[in-house]
Amino acid sequence: VIVRHRHGDYKIEETDLATSLAPLEGCYVLTDKNVHAHWQHLVVDKPCYVIEPGERSKTLPIFGDCLEWLAEGGASRSSTVIAFGGGVVGDLAGFVAATYMRGIKLIQAPTSLLAMVDSSVGGKVGLDLDQGKNLVGAFYPPMSVLIDYKLLATLPNRELINGAAEIWKYGAILDEHLLAMLEERPIGPGDDRLPQLVMHCVELKRLVVEADELETAGTRAVLNFGHTVGHAIEKATGYGPVLHGEAISVGMVVEALIGEKVGVSPKNASDRLRMGLRSQGLPTEIPGCDPADLLKSMRLDKKAFKGRLALALLTGYGSCKLVHDVPEPVVLECLRENL
Ligand SMILES: NC(=O)c1ccc[n+]([C@@H]2O[C@H](COP(=O)([O-])OP(=O)(O)OC[C@H]3O[C@@H](n4cnc5c(N)ncnc54)[C@H](O)[C@@H]3O)[C@@H](O)[C@H]2O)c1
Ligand SMILES: [Zn+2]
């Protein structure tokens, strides 16, 4: 898959990482402890900076450490950063590459299912602040994205299911055939459909991202289906106990119901998604959050305009649009119904 962007293009390809990384010179690898423990033999010949796994590493202090490590190691304008890990490493290393010496080359080597189907595609990189997730960042497309499915073999099952949530999202918003396929057989460990599914999702995301690279047209916002409620849940639960995919799974069910109530989504949308997502082993109910509290953080969502809620809502199976001015009472009611 080739993704075009305002400054050029990059390739997303299936590869054997050992073979494609070996000949590269002047590379600095950023990775986390889990990935490093399993796969360090793929990068032994390169300098590695190994961070603690998890969202708490996507911060300004760690970002600073990475930049200083590059400078210390003599990285120059012709050097390359390799983001070897899940979405946390991808976002952090991407922002490091975007800012070191005003930008050096970046290769994304995603190792989690979520990173393969979502975070490594589309050029968004960045960090969290104490005040909120992804508040600092850049649009910084990589030079290439190298996908090696073998690496999924060591991914914990909960993380596999976490990534599957985004695949269900693609089905719901862009491709009913994909949705039906997942309903027939949810994604499992060692699933032989993964290579084909990942590339299909990458292609779906490419289409959306190319049409609205900098998220100015509003069409890229469809990728946010389930995320307005999902982000609020992640925030309310303190980023950690509920994984991103788990939060958006609940978010998709609630937002489907909101869509039904405001009359833009199919009548049984929330029931259909609830059933499917449950069969995938994903949660569909809000884990002990206060609806009023969730609504409050939804007002701070980047899509909200002058404090009025805007949500990506299904307009059918496989179609979605950004809907402005969604009434708060409807949102509250739907949050309560899914407690
Ligand atoms: N830039 C974007 O467009 C975009 C899109 C979606 C999500 N994101 C970001 O991505 C992050 C979430 O990504 P994630 O779910 O990959 O989280 P993650 O990077 O924390 O990885 C999840 C866990 O799996 C482990 N892991 C990863 N690959 C492994 C492997 N092959 N074997 C064993 N363990 C492995 C990691 O160490 C970690 O513990 C969030 O910070 C989110 O904001 C960014
Ligand atoms: Zn997401």
Contact residues for 210 (Cβ-Cβ < 8 A; gap 6+): 3, 4, 5
Residue 205 annotated among the catalytic residues of the structure: yes
Å from CA of 230 to ligand 1 middle = 16
Q: Rounded to the nearest whole angstrom, what is the distance from the C-alpha of residue 87 to the centroid of ligand 1?
A: 4
Q: Which two tokens stand for residue 307?
A: 């404090």
Spot the catalytic one: 102, 184, 267, 306. Answer: 102
> Does this model's pTM top 0.75?
yes
Known catalytic residue at 166 = yes
- Looking up tokens 């609020």 gives 232
- Ligand 1 surroundings by CB, under 6 angstroms: 32, 34-35, 38, 53-55, 58, 85-89, 91, 111-112, 114-115, 118-119, 122, 124, 134, 151, 154-155, 159, 162, 244
Between the CA of 324 and the centroid of ligand 1 the distance, in Å, is 30
Q: Is 261 a catalytic residue?
A: no
Cα 337 to ligand 1 centre (Å): 30
Any catalytic annotation for residue 41? Answer: no
Q: Of the listed 58, 231, 274, 321, which one is catalytic?
A: 231
Catalytic residue among 58, 169, 227, 261: 227
Token pair for residue 73? 């190691």
Q: Radius of gyration of the chain from Cα atoms?
A: 19
Side chain identity at 133, as an amino acid letter?
Answer: K
Structure tokens given for 243: 């994984």
Signed CA dihedral, 107, 62, 294, 324: sign only: negative
Query: Atom 6 in ligand 1: which residue has the minimum CA distance?
Result: 119
303 is catalytic: no
Distance between Cα 74 and ligand 2 center (Å): 35
pLDDT one digit per residue (tens) for the chain, 339 residues = 999 999 999 999 999 999 999 999 999 999 999 999 999 999 999 999 999 999 999 999 999 999 999 999 999 999 999 999 999 999 999 999 999 999 999 999 999 999 999 999 999 999 999 888 899 999 999 999 999 999 999 999 999 999 999 999 999 999 999 999 999 999 999 999 999 999 999 999 999 999 999 988 889 999 999 999 999 999 999 888 999 999 999 999 999 999 999 999 999 999 999 999 999 999 999 878 999 999 999 998 888 888 899 999 999 999 999 999 999 999 999 999 988
Of all ligands present, the nearest one to the C-alpha of 95 is: 1
The DSSP bridge partners found for residue 95 are none
